[in-house]
Chain A
Amino acid sequence: MREVVAETSRPVMLYSVGKDSAVMLHLARKAFHPSPPPFPLLHVDTTWKFRAMYELRDRMAAESGMELIVHRNEEALAKGINPFDHGALHTDMWKTEGLKQALDAHGFDAAFGGARRDEEKSRAKERIFSFRTANHVWDPKNQRPELWRLYNARKSKGESIRVFPLSNWTELDVWQYIHRYDIPIVPLYLAARRPTVERDGMIVMVDDDRLPLRPGETPVWRSIRFRTLGCYPLTGAIESEAATLPDILREMLLTTTSERQGRAIDREEWASMEKKKREGYF
């Protein structure tokens, strides 16, 4: 993070309100203490996040003393793009396009993201400093070698870098860090009884009346929690009784499914993530 601040002109930290963002923000505070982290937080909002996420986002921004920039893709808003009717287009427009718009509008030339290499196969090869062309395109065949602790942050005008400080962390590392430093997280990560419906093989939480119920669907109360948080109709919950951090950690050590399994986006097509990333998805 210090290398990025020293070698780029306008860095920003992508803040998705998830557990990885929580860890990244804490690390930033460590890296620059006693100064506040010298960059703003950017939340690329889809308007379809869980309510609890919006609450924590505003609280954390206030506590860290950092500027919070919230960007919504106006075109997606105007067209009423939503996860129910538009599927992949929802992710493209709100997240992929929304992020590009926000980076361009503010002239950010470096953006920290919380992605980890252990999440997904195409991430395993991505650099910690990952370059994007002026059109935000990632070229996996043309990545800069990263040797020792040396990062080359030079770029031409218009190009930008996505930086992944948690690249070498595992999911267990993330939870352990949150436990060790008692970092606030969205309560949805902890189990509680919540209204749900089962849909396309996923348990979907009925967060509010933004979720149109299908004929025959009635919300059922289940004890659930989330391993990963995205747009709520696209993020599946798991049934769980793990209501505390140590419970989560125990459950995680016993679990036999990977955390991205709850995300509809990955299963859509073979090599879907790599394709999305080449197009500019974070």
Chain B
Amino acid sequence: MKIPSDTPAPAPEAAAEDIGAYLARHECKDLLRFLTCGSVDDGKSTLIGRLLYDTKLLFDDQLDALEADSKRLGTQGDKLDFALLVDGLAAEREQGITIDVAYRFFTTDRRKFIVADTPGHEQYTRNMVTGASTADLAVILVDARKGVLTQTRRHSYLAHLLGIRRIVLAVNKMDLAGYDQAAFDAICAEYAAFAAGIGIRGQLAIPISGLAGDNIAGPSMHMDWYSGPTLLEHLETVEIDADHARRAGFRMPVQWVNRPNLDFRGFSGLVASGRIAAGHKVRVLPSGAASKVTRIVTLDGDLDEADAGQSITVTLADEIDCSRGSVLVAADDPPQVADQFEATLVWMSDEEMLAGRSYLLKLATQTVNARVQAPKYQVNVNSLEHLAAKTLGLNDIGVANLTTDQPIVFEPYRDSPDLGGFILIDRATHATVAAGMIHFALRRSQNIHWQSIDIGPEALARLKNQEPALVWLTGLSGAGKSTIANLVQKKLHRMNRHTFLLDGDNVRHGLNKDLGFTDADRVENIRRVGEVAKLMADAGLIVIAAFISPFRAEREMIRRMLPPGRFLEVHVDTPLGVVEQRDVKGLYAKARAGELVNFTGIDSPFETPDNPELRIDTLRMSPEEAADEIVERLLG
């Protein structure tokens, strides 16, 4: 083993001076987060390895390992293969590609850096978007021999989409292009023309060689025609725009209510933008209640004021309603509150987007239910053309309207990534399925208000002398839903109850005759039926609905549309083997023969209810008995 004191000092800055002074200086260094984009062949990993090597950030044991790995796996002959330093996962090493986002850290005398190393292939768009979401600057690599390619345009578009304002065009492998100025100039000109077209301004182009080290940390010996900064010089000196957030109005999403005892009630959060001081007037959104900041509490004592980026706990002068998800804002400069938006979505899941399905939307500390409408268009990330689209699949980018089930506090993404960027979460798998960036609130969201009506649902129900409810029968086609629903209605009718029966087949002749049987259409079918059933329940009726409704998410959505206790989910449970054998309508035979596609149970899934109010086992119970049990449960 090597012992440090035996080895020569590689970092003279610390040895030469008092350690206290060094620490003081290091503490004041700012942080630049940047992203490197390029495809495998552009030498991106090599560039990062080179940066770490040239800034003395590699240790002896890492270098030893690199030497050994280079011999075994390297692609550079006897030379060090810097790419092996950064391609972390074993699978990636074997395949020679970078699959995920990897973060690297290095420090120079002037600045600290976090590099997000992201893969370049189109199938990894989501990884690049993830890396770009926290970056201040993007280094876009171009192979000097190949020039501006489709992928260069894609990377530039994505960086710009995520709001990165500083772009460096690193024209790499100049060593292989004979260090030729004309080649470099041609690439710069072509890139500038494209960049201007999508709104990128002020990019800097640098001719480099990651492998040979030209213009990385030190100036190149081979390109005296280039007089600009080296890549590292530029990274060390480029202006960071943390000031932008500081200048904006005060916003602090509340993460946690801090209540150690009855005498203290504080609101903890990270200041997303602006500045706050004791005595400042604030509002709590979305409620709008106003108060004044009394203290800014931290472990190191109270602060007079706090800035964007600080994590604090504030106390207010008044006992007002404020909890996780609320946003504390400057009283005289509040952000908007709305429940309908236009946004850009980047789809990140293998399961494609379902228009109308309810997803969880998380924005800052707010989590609400949200439905996405069919995309207005999809963007071809290579040509940047707008294409018509009905849905979005993995790595697709599109623009769509969203509706949330309660108003949220937001700002357009270009003004505030903290209050304009959101993720969508699948309610069943809990996966993060999409990232979104809000453009603006839809005007109808601000202009359409609830009209208050004097005769409410309670009054209507009272007149009918009954408790309204929605009995929802779900199950496979041919399970017996309609038969049982019909019996339930007859029994209730005889008992003088006001009812209405919504049947799957029947609504498809009218209200939903424009819908087919794709997953997206099934979701919309159930959404419409749910809205209608809710109106009928509001009118005081007992509604009986018989729908296959194969997806858990939509059944849960309807449950949430009704007041607690008013939704009765009944699983009419008949095994597939039995319904297929009965095949009353001959549909299973057709589906098996391939004449009918997207048939539930055959080539489209049925998601069994987890906790239905009732489960009817039709093999043990007659339709008559089943109907009795439902009526008993409903009225009993």
Contact = CB atoms under 8 A, between A and B. Distances in A.
Interface of A: 2-3, 5-6, 29-36, 117-118, 121-122, 124-125, 140-141, 143-150, 152, 154-156, 167-168, 170, 172, 176, 179-180, 201-203, 236, 238-241, 246-247, 249-251, 253-258, 261, 270-271, 274-275
B435 to A, nearest CB: 5
Interface in B322-366: 324, 348, 360, 362-365
Interface stretch (B256-264, B499-507, B554-562, B578-586): B256-264
B454 interface: no
A29 B299 contact: yes
B630 to A, nearest CB: 29
Contact of A168 (B7, B103, B435): B103
A268 B230 CA distance: 40
Contact of B324 (A6, A124, A154): A6
A95 to B, nearest CB: 21
Contacts of A270: 90
A244 B423 CA distance: 46
A20 B429 CA distance: 33
Nearest to A168: B114
Contacts of B133: 147-148
Nearest to A122: B88
18 contacts: A2-B256, A3-B255, A33-B297, A33-B298, A34-B264, A34-B297, A34-B313, A35-B259, A125-B89, A145-B435, A147-B134, A147-B421, A168-B103, A168-B105, A240-B4, A250-B14, A257-B60, A271-B90
Interface residues of B, number: 78
Contacts of A31: 268, 311
Interface in B33-79: 59-62
Top 6 closest A-B pairs, CB basis? A253-B14, A154-B430, A35-B260, A147-B133, A121-B88, A258-B59
A254 B11 contact: yes
A125 B418 contact: no
Interface in B410-425: 417-418, 421-423, 425
A154 B256 contact: no
Interface in B224-269: 255-256, 258-260, 264, 266, 268-269
B129 interface: yes
A84 to B, nearest CB: 19
B461 interface: no
Given A34-B297, A261-B59, A152 B9 contact: no
Nearest to A239: B3
Q: Of A146, A154, A241, A246, which is in contact with the most chain B CB atoms at under 10 Å from its CB?
A: A154
Contacts of B11: 253-254
A144 B5 CA distance: 43
A33 B299 contact: yes
Given A256-B4, A271-B90, 20 more contacts: A2-B269, A3-B255, A5-B256, A6-B256, A30-B298, A33-B298, A33-B313, A34-B264, A145-B130, A147-B134, A147-B421, A148-B133, A148-B418, A149-B418, A251-B5, A254-B4, A256-B2, A257-B4, A257-B59, A274-B88
Interface stretch (B19-27, B142-150, B523-531, B534-542): B19-27
B421 A117 contact: no
A227 to B, nearest CB: 10
A197 to B, nearest CB: 14
Contacts of A156: 429-430
Q: Of A33, A117, A202, A253, which is in contact with the most chain B CB atoms at under 10 Å from its CB?
A: A253
B99 A141 contact: yes
B203 interface: no
A145 B255 contact: no
Contact of A246 (B19, B99, B362): B19
B9 A254 contact: yes
A90 B161 CA distance: 50
Contacts of B270: 149
B512 interface: no
B421 A144 contact: no
B435 A147 contact: yes
B154 interface: no
Nearest to B31: A168
Contacts of B298: 30, 33
B153 to A, nearest CB: 22
Interface of B: 1-5, 7, 9-11, 13-15, 19-20, 22-23, 26-27, 59-62, 86, 88-91, 93, 99-105, 107, 112, 114, 126-127, 129-130, 133-134, 255-256, 258-260, 264, 266, 268-270, 297-300, 311, 313, 324, 348, 360, 362-365, 417-418, 421-423, 425, 429-432, 435
A176 B89 contact: no
Nearest to A227: B4
A148 B430 CA distance: 18
A258 B4 CA distance: 10
Contacts of B348: 145
A176 B23 contact: yes
Contacts of B362: 150, 152
Contacts of A117: 103, 105
B422 A150 contact: yes
Given A145-B348, A148-B134, A274 B1 contact: no
B525 to A, nearest CB: 27
A219 to B, nearest CB: 18
Given A30-B298, A144-B432, A149-B270, A176 B59 contact: no
A126 B388 CA distance: 36
A179 B398 CA distance: 49
A236 B4 CA distance: 13
Contacts of A122: 88-90
